Amino acid sequence: MKTSGDEALLIMERDIGGNECRLQEYAPVFSDIASKKFNGRELTFDGLVRITATDVSAWKAHLPDAA
């Protein structure tokens, strides 16, 4: 796996079905995760925000209908 972004996409594929349409549908989710990480100064050494599979899993775990 090349990047943590790849991990996040794999989690999406496994959990909600990963195709381009689904990715676009969940763009606001990635934006929300990134905003929270940026505001919390959770940046990489080079100042980037990385969204990982763990981030997506945590988001999913906090859904009201999460099992």
Residues in contact with 52: Cβ distance below 8 Å, sequence separation at least 6, in sequence order: 4, 7, 8
Q: Comparing 48 with 64, which gets the higher pLDDT?
A: 48
- The pTM assigned to this predicted structure is 0.62
Q: Would you call 44 exposed, middle or buried from its count of C-beta atoms within 10 A (0-12, 13-18, 19+)?
A: exposed
- Angle CA 59–18–21, to nearest 5: 100
pLDDT in tens, 1-60: 445 566 666 666 666 555 667 777 778 888 999 999 999 999 999 988 988 888 888 888
- Angle CA 49–20–31, to nearest 5: 30
